[in-house]
């Protein structure tokens, strides 16, 4: 009770009534300022006020959802002479093992090292089976699962042996020429992919799938990214040696912040063909103001996000690596192992050929990362990405298997720009609404 005998509640009600009666908000004056208003008229204006508050609340929620979920818009930028873009990476897969002479030396070494009891021809067939199978044809391992064919290596040695058995970039080519901007140099190491053992030109994220860095989480600082400008000419030429078999060469150009996966389109350089191609790129970049937004706001992810672990098995994030994580979960759930070319934890065994045959029973789930039993995390697109489209300029039969590639500098790029900021929450009109 207050000093004059009125309750605190009565004092509050009186103060609120006086305040409402002098407010300029439409409707409140009709309810509180004029004592002559009828009860029906007061009820009518109260209903109007409730409707106004409801509409205002709905609009506020609508505006806030724009800020949290649709804060970014994609625009076009044609000022290409000002751009500095990342030089692309190329993953190249040779369907060739080393020549038999070299493989025989390797076989003799492995017989002693791993106590292998097999004839050379049997082991050679085993190596071919191990090297050139993937999710699309793991069912070919059925003879191993049925015991009709023998395995000669433990899964933990697959990568080591294949690295020695497969052709290196220099061994497979009579001539290679990669025209990096500013006369830069980059290595062309072995990389293990979902397609099999390959070579990567201009490695960035792919470097963590090479034998040297496969189990490392350290930041790769040996080479900085190469930038391409409108004044640079990006050329790539390779010629295959005659001394190897008639296997095709598969190649895929991609952004340097991405790795090749099973669903990516692989172009084919057939044996005995001279192929001249031109690549054009669709480039998407995130503006500076977008980078600081949350993943939900920008609807994409950077390789490194503040205070958020990239992925369980990688020290960085990419869209394809996120799909790798999902495939590993599906493989572990159904077959209790993962393929040798994935980075893994100590609790995740490597599949032998029988385990890889088990994966063939779930081919569709693994390739399309869609399984009714396993729940995978959402995989946002990369905020900065490039998609390379190939156009054939010339393809003729030749005694020399040759690939010549030109990467055209784009004249238009797509820019993720911030359309809606915190300032818009306090009254700036929402564009395009």
Task: Using a pLDDT cut of 70, give the percent of the chain over it.
Answer: 80
Domain boundaries, the chain: 8-69, 80-417
Q: How many Cβ atoms sit within 10 Å of the Cβ of residue 292?
A: 11
Interval 44-72: pLDDT, tens:
777 877 887 888 787 777 666 666 667 78
Per-residue confidence (pLDDT) for residue 132, from 0 to 100:
93
Report the DSSP beta bridge partners of residue 249.
94, 269
Interval 178-232: pLDDT, tens:
666 656 777 788 999 999 999 888 888 888 898 888 887 776 667 677 888 888 7
Per-residue confidence (pLDDT) for residue 11, from 0 to 100:
67
Cβ 298 vs Cβ 417: under 8 Å: no
Average pLDDT over residues 301-330: 90
């Amino acid at each position: 009770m207050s000093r004059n005998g009125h309750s605190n509640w009565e004092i509050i009600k009186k103060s609120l009534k006086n305040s409402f009666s002098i407010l300029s908000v439409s409707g409140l004056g009709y309810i509180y300022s004029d004592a002559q208003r009828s009860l029906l008229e007061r009820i009518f204006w109260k209903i109007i006020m409730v409707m106004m508050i409801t509409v205002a609340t709905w609009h506020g929620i609508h505006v806030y959802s724009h800020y949290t979920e649709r804060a970014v818009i994609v625009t076009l930028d044609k000022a290409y002479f000002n751009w500095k873009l990342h030089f692309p990476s190329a993953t190249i897969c040779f369907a060739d093992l080393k020549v038999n002479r070299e493989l025989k030396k390797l076989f003799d070494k492995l017989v002693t090292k791993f106590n292998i009891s097999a004839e050379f021809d049997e082991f050679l067939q085993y190596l071919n089976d191990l090297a050139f199978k993937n999710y699309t044809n793991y069912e070919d391992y059925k003879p191993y699962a049925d015991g009709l064919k023998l395995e000669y290596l433990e899964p933990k040695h697959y990568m080591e042996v294949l690295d020695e058995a497969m052709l290196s970039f220099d061994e497979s080519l009579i001539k290679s020429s990669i025209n990096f901007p500013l006369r830069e140099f980059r290595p062309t190491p072995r990389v293990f992919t979902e397609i099999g053992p390959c070579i990567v030109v201009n490695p960035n994220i792919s470097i963590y799938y090479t034998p040297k860095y496969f189990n490392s989480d350290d930041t790769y600082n040996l080479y900085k990214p190469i930038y391409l400008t409108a004044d640079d000419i990006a050329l790539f030429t390779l010629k295959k040696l005659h001394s190897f078999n008639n296997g095709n060469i598969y190649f895929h150009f991609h952004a340097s912040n991405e790795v090749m996966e099973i669903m990516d389109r692989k172009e084919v350089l057939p044996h005995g063909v001279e192929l001249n191609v031109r690549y054009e790129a669709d480039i998407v970049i995130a503006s500076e103001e977008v980078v600081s937004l949350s993943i939900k706001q920008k609807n994409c992810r950077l390789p490194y996000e503040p205070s958020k672990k990239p992925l369980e098995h990688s020290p960085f994030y990419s869209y394809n690596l996120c799909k790798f994580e999902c495939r590993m979960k599906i493989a572990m759930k159904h077959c209790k192992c993962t393929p040798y070319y994935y980075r893994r934890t100590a609790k995740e065994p490597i599949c032998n050929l029988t385990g890889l045959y088990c994966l063939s029973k779930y081919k569709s789930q693994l390739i399309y990362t869609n399984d009714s039993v396993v729940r995978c995390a959402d995989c946002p697109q990369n905020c900065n990405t490039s998609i390379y489209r190939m156009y054939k300029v010339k393809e003729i039969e030749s005694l020399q298997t040759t690939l010549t590639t030109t990467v055209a500098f784009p004249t238009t790029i797509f820019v993720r720009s911030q359309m809606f900021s915190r300032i818009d929450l306090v009254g700036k009109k929402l564009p395009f609404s």
